[in-house]
Amino acid sequence: MKTIKIVAIFVLLSLSAFSQENTNISSKWIWYPGDFEVWLHREVGGRRQERGQAYPPFWRVDSPYGLVRFEKMYESSKSDTIRIYADGRYHVRIDGKVVYDFDPKKLVLPAGKHRLHFLVENYKTFPSLLVQGKTVFTNEGWQVTIQDQIFYPAASGNFTEVGLPPSTFHLDYVPITSKILEKGANSMLVDFGKETFGKVIVEKVKGKGKLRMYFGETRQEAMAETQAETFDYLDINRSVNKNDTTAAHAFRYIYAVWDLNVAIDKISALYEYLPVENRGSFSCSDSLLNRIYDVSLYTLHLNTRELFLDGIKRDRWVWSGDAYQSYLMNFYTFFDEDINKRTLYALRGHDPVETHINTILDYSYYWMIGIYDHFLYTGDTAFVRQIYPRMKTLMKFCLDRANANGFVEGLPGDWVFIDWAEIEKTGEISFEQLLLARSLEAMALSAKLANDREYAGRCQKLSEEIRQKIFNVFWSDQKNAFVHSRKNGVLSNVVTRYANMFAILFDYVDAEKKQKIKKHVILNDSVLNITTPYMKFYELASLCEIGEKGKAIEFVKDYWGGMLKLGATSVWETYDPKQTGDAHYAMYGRPFGKSLCHAWGANPVYLFGKYLLGVKPTVPGYKSYLIEPSLAGLEWIKGRVPTPNGNIEVYMDKKEIRVKKVRGEGTLRIRSAKPPKVQEGVTYSLTGDKQYEIQLALPQKEYTIRYWPIK
């Protein structure tokens, strides 16, 4: 996460983005930036049901703008005949004059320089437009406005087919079957073998009466009937071969109970999923870690849908802090840039900003930092520029709420989350100040990309000031750590892990302080332990950053392995090894309130890719990158890490490292007791104590290095 030195490349990137546009000759559906995502968020957020009750989000949910104007100034030596496809009612104007009596399949545009403008109205989904012509066709080069005098470059994506505007976006389906575990006269318990998500199909339904289906991530939950978090009642009144009238749900088990006059044969489902490619991979000599990787990847995929969900059973909402981890995991698995962008826009919604994202203080900051991380991995300048106005209004909202010390704290209506833990959440929390400082850095870098230099300078300066104040106020030489908080001017004497591990991750502390934090916080069992995979993510990453990869891996085996031992087929929302029995499934005061398939639990896919395979970009978009593989006590590791330029492949055992590079300036960094043996023409240099850096600069892609592990 060292991302501070990459400013110089920005201008270069932005130029290449421009030149690319001019060579694009295919037309795309275009829309108002963010509104495809605002629409998705509205649809997805509204789907939650809890024990029979509709349960939409408890934050402001925006609707897309229903009336949007698309504009293009064109200049052409010849007239052009265009075909017009609009998702909504519309009219066309040329140079401001409405065009009457035309055939949308062949509207002739006059030669010369003209302003073309389409006003499209759609209040059901959202307006979008596709224009096909030789010289005039829709793409990001068009301007768009909601008629508020503000114009943006139009948004677009992978929607190019005439009949398939973005509002037709949908997930894919594939049939899956279940095994009957129990069958009574009017009931049945079925098992799909693992956690899954889909539309339930009841086969060979007959008779007349009620059919009740209770969905369970565990057998216990399904059997608990209305104590299950989700269930559906169907009214059966005729015989059908396949009844698929229920909404899609998460389940492994389904307990079905029907009235005496009803009969069913079996229950299957249509598995619902986002088609993504597993570009990343990981395997190693430890079969438990391999299983943990597989279960994590499956958990991530189940939550990778229209948007990144927190979990698939319960709220199925989009949460910024949860999603932030999914963006990062995505970079080591699917490298699906679109779902990151969709989720970021969905979370932000429209102006005005009136509350924190998801109402959570920390979650506004993760949102800003997330955009920066997305840029670091993808190099997508256009996206940063497109979303930048909404970053700025959110940051203004955040800064307007800072206190007289320039620190942020929870104001009435704000939720200070940090983690599910019994900790102080009022007053000035050191952790929140760190997130603010990092957000200001992200803003500064984004502002530069958007050519808003004055604001970039302000944010950079403010970030530095806040970092200095964090040290002055919260660092305790006595505790050798940051303390948790200050309230009414009184410093807490409690140390928690949060600020300390983020200070390492953000590289805000020097080597000496890192060692102090490692000893007095991270590896100190008297400091409150973390019981969510959510914060484990940062704890394990910080362990890796301070050279304790072996410990991190042991930890993964204990903690994730613990869930697997309890029969988990996906990773849980929280896991406390001290609990026993069905207590594991309870949360929020409900016996099955806990999500057993929570995206934040999938973080081993990120840890293994970033810290074992050791791959990360050092210049945005993998223009340069580092490969620093580590066995962390294993016999061998092997895997792929996706980049915008293809997949990097890494293999390592106790003698040899093999790497397949991609376009970009790649460096392999290893530690070896003796100078490594490399192919002819490969150069390397000694860059530290027994540390060598090998430039992957040959024309060929594959490299094999012999090295000598340090005992």
Is residue 158 exposed (0-12), middle (13-18) or buried (19+ Cβ within 10 Å)?
Answer: exposed
Minimum distance of a second copy from residue 501's CB (angstroms): 31
Closer residue to a second copy (CB): 65 or 625: 65
Kindly tell me which residue out of 31, 59, 214, 255 binds a second copy, with binding defined by CB under 8 A: 59
Residue with tokens 């290095």, as numbered in its chain: 705
Minimum distance of a second copy from residue 425's CB (angstroms): 18
Binding flag, residue 63, a second copy (CB under 8 A)? yes
Closer residue to a second copy (CB): 413 or 681: 413
Q: Which residues contact 344 (CB under 8 A, 6 or more apart)?
A: 37, 323, 327, 367, 370, 371, 374, 387
Answer for the pair 576, 531: CB distance below 8 angstroms, yes or no.
Answer: yes
Binding flag, residue 104, a second copy (CB under 8 A)? no
Answer for the pair 711, 673: CB distance below 8 angstroms, yes or no.
Answer: yes
Closer residue to a second copy (CB): 126 or 537: 126
Rounded distance between C-alpha atoms, residue 273 and residue 174, angstroms: 8
Considering only the stretches 49-57, 204-212, 266-274, 470-478, report the one whose residues sit in contact with a second copy under the rule CB under 8 A: 49-57
Answer for the pair 332, 605: CB distance below 8 angstroms, yes or no.
Answer: yes
Query: Number of H helices and number of E strands within the chain?
Result: 15, 37
Closer residue to a second copy (CB): 93 or 199: 93
Residue type, 343: T
Binding to a second copy (CB under 8 A) within 118-137 occurs at 119, 121, 123-124
Closer residue to a second copy (CB): 66 or 646: 66
Binding flag, residue 52, a second copy (CB under 8 A)? yes
Binding flag, residue 77, a second copy (CB under 8 A)? no
Residues 387-416: x/- map of binding to a second copy (CB under 8 A)? -------------------------xx---
Minimum distance of a second copy from residue 98's CB (angstroms): 6
Instruction: Indicate the SS3 state at residue 523.
Output: coil
Closer residue to a second copy (CB): 49 or 569: 49
| Residues touching a second copy, count (CB under 8 A) | 42
Cα distances from 571 to residues 132, 196, 482, 559, 586, in angstroms, run 46, 12, 31, 11, 15
In 3-127, which ranges are E strands? 30-31, 49-50, 53-54, 67-76, 80-87, 89-94, 97-98, 107-109, 112-121
Binding flag, residue 596, a second copy (CB under 8 A)? no
Residue with tokens 């216990």, as numbered in its chain: 220
Residue with tokens 């088609």, as numbered in its chain: 275
Distance of CA 25 to the CA centre of its chain: 31
Closer residue to a second copy (CB): 131 or 662: 131
Answer for the pair 105, 131: CB distance below 8 angstroms, yes or no.
Answer: no
Minimum distance of a second copy from residue 397's CB (angstroms): 11
Minimum distance of a second copy from residue 655's CB (angstroms): 60
Residue type, 297: L
Rounded distance between C-alpha atoms, residue 354 and residue 45, angstroms: 19
Binding flag, residue 46, a second copy (CB under 8 A)? yes
Kindly tell me which residue out of 19, 23, 53, 77 binds a second copy, with binding defined by CB under 8 A: 53
Minimum distance of a second copy from residue 84's CB (angstroms): 12
Considering only the stretches 98-106, 192-200, 333-341, 368-376, report the one whose residues sit in contact with a second copy under the rule CB under 8 A: 98-106
Minimum distance of a second copy from residue 351's CB (angstroms): 6
Rounded distance between C-alpha atoms, residue 92 and residue 84, angstroms: 10
Minimum distance of a second copy from residue 614's CB (angstroms): 44
Rounded distance between C-alpha atoms, residue 95 and residue 73, angstroms: 9
Binding flag, residue 73, a second copy (CB under 8 A)? no
Residue with tokens 């990778």, as numbered in its chain: 304
Minimum distance of a second copy from residue 58's CB (angstroms): 6
Exposure of 614 in the CB half-sphere (CA atoms within 13 A): 26
Residue with tokens 């059908």, as numbered in its chain: 240
Binding flag, residue 57, a second copy (CB under 8 A)? yes
Kindly tell me which residue out of 19, 226, 287, 488 binds a second copy, with binding defined by CB under 8 A: 226
Binding flag, residue 103, a second copy (CB under 8 A)? no
Which H helix or E strand runs over 233?
strand 230-236
Closer residue to a second copy (CB): 65 or 622: 65
Closer residue to a second copy (CB): 415 or 636: 415
Closer residue to a second copy (CB): 152 or 273: 152
Minimum distance of a second copy from residue 57's CB (angstroms): 7
Minimum distance of a second copy from residue 91's CB (angstroms): 4
Binding flag, residue 54, a second copy (CB under 8 A)? yes
Q: How many other C-beta atoms are found inside a 10 Å radius of the C-beta of residue 475?
A: 19
Binding flag, residue 90, a second copy (CB under 8 A)? yes
Residue with tokens 């005061």, as numbered in its chain: 589
Kindly tell me which residue out of 24, 147, 241, 426 binds a second copy, with binding defined by CB under 8 A: 147
Binding flag, residue 355, a second copy (CB under 8 A)? yes
Kindly tell me which residue out of 5, 148, 490, 689 binds a second copy, with binding defined by CB under 8 A: 148
Rounded distance between C-alpha atoms, residue 644 and residue 171, angstroms: 24
Answer for the pair 299, 312: CB distance below 8 angstroms, yes or no.
Answer: no
Binding flag, residue 34, a second copy (CB under 8 A)? no
Binding flag, residue 586, a second copy (CB under 8 A)? no
Structure tokens at 1: 């996460």
Answer for the pair 526, 593: CB distance below 8 angstroms, yes or no.
Answer: no
Kindly tell me which residue out of 17, 67, 240, 421 binds a second copy, with binding defined by CB under 8 A: 67
Binding flag, residue 91, a second copy (CB under 8 A)? yes
Helix ranges (DSSP H) in 475-612: 497-505, 511-517, 533-545, 549-565, 604-607
Exposure of 266 in the CB half-sphere (CA atoms within 13 A): 11
**Binding stretches for a second copy (CB under 8 A):** 42, 46, 50-61, 63, 65-67, 69, 89-91, 98-101, 119, 121, 123-124, 146-150, 226, 351-352, 354-355, 412-413
